[in-house]
Structure 1
Amino acid sequence: MGRVMRPATFIDVTHAARLLMAVPRVARGEVCDGLIAQAGHADKYRKRFGRAHARLGTGTLSSRIGPGVLPTEPVFCDRLYARCLALVFERLARRDQPR
């Protein structure tokens, strides 16, 4: 698939995981993939027009999620948070694998 968005930082991963905590378990993978794809579209837009996309941000997961209300960051031993973090890492690693 190749790189489809700006490189993810730890903040991007934690923001995405915190957002996913509010998503039903069965939909988390699809929502996570959608966030990554939308961040990729925003990155292409940023490169082409030299500015952030009004709705999708600058090409990072954090900018795609935006300044909306995220739950307070839980401790890493919180099982739901740990599962959501693992999902984000897994989906980010998958996007960089050749097809």
Structure 2
Amino acid sequence: MRAVLLSDVIAAARALRGVPASGRAVVCARMLREAHWADRHTRRLGKVHAAWGNGTLKAAAEAYGPVGAGRFDDPEFCECLQMVAAALAEKCRAHSCKRGLHAHMGF
């Protein structure tokens, strides 16, 4: 997966906000995998993946369709932000990231 920026996290949280709460963890994990796969595809073939984009988390999240703006006064959106941040932190811890999330990730 490409380097993860704040805009990626917000896009992923916005996508999760459009998913029923019971399915968010599955979709969150899927977005991370899809971003990783798209990055590998893009680096190997020199073109973006048709469904998952260019390897950024934002592009993978946008594949889930248009969603409303994320609002920090929306408790569910804040929960989605927390879910994305926790998933990224867990993946990083599991892979001993020292140079940033994208450097050693193998989703």
Is the TM-score greater than 0.5? yes
C-alpha deviation, 1:96, in angstroms: 1.1
The runs of 5 or more residues in structure 2 that have no matched partner are 96-107
* Number of equivalenced pairs: 94
Q: Structure 1: which 4+ aligned runs deviate by more than 3 Å?
A: none
Separation in 2 of the partners of 1:93 and 1:27? Answer: 20
The match for 1:23 is: 19
The match for 1:88 is: 84
The normalised TM-score by structure 1 is 0.86
Matched, 1:56 2:52: yes
Separation in 2 of the partners of 1:48 and 1:25? Answer: 35
C-alpha deviation, 1:49, in angstroms: 0.9
- Decide which moves more: 49-58 or 37-46: 49-58
The normalised TM-score by structure 2 is 0.80
Matched, 1:97 2:93: yes
Question: Are the counterparts in 1 of residues 8 and 58 from structure 2 also a CA contact under 8 Å?
Answer: yes
Question: Are the counterparts in 1 of residues 15 and 62 from structure 2 also a CA contact under 8 Å?
Answer: no
RCO higher in 1 or 2 (8 Å CA, sep ≥ 6)?
Answer: 1
Q: What percent of counterpart residues are identical?
A: 34
State the SS of the aligned residue for 1:97. Answer: helix
The runs of 5 or more residues in structure 1 that have no matched partner are none
C-alpha deviation, 1:85, in angstroms: 0.2
The match for 1:69 is: 66
